[in-house]
Amino acid sequence: MAYAPHETVADAIKRAGLPESHDIHWSDARKAEVVKAVRNKLISFDEARWRYLLSRNEFESWERQVDRKIATGRRELERT
């Protein structure tokens, strides 16, 4: 994980500004924050799944959504 040995997962989540629990509205920005945190190894997929009550399929759909937005943003930058 990308957090210090003395730091708890909860502390790392707070430091990263991630939602504290599953009881939230999942905006595109919040989904992207969780995907980024898992990809950057701030938290593991299992930690994210437990904390936010996600299935593997749901998380993978979030990843695809994030990847599409990144690709769209790159194409728009290339046009300018």
Looking at residue 2, what is its pLDDT? 59
SS3 34: helix
Determine contact, residues 12/1, Cβ cutoff 8 Å: yes
Q: Where are the domains of the chain?
A: 9-19+28-79
pTM: 0.69
What's the pLDDT tens digit per position in 5-57?
677 777 777 777 777 666 667 889 989 999 999 999 999 999 999 888 899 99
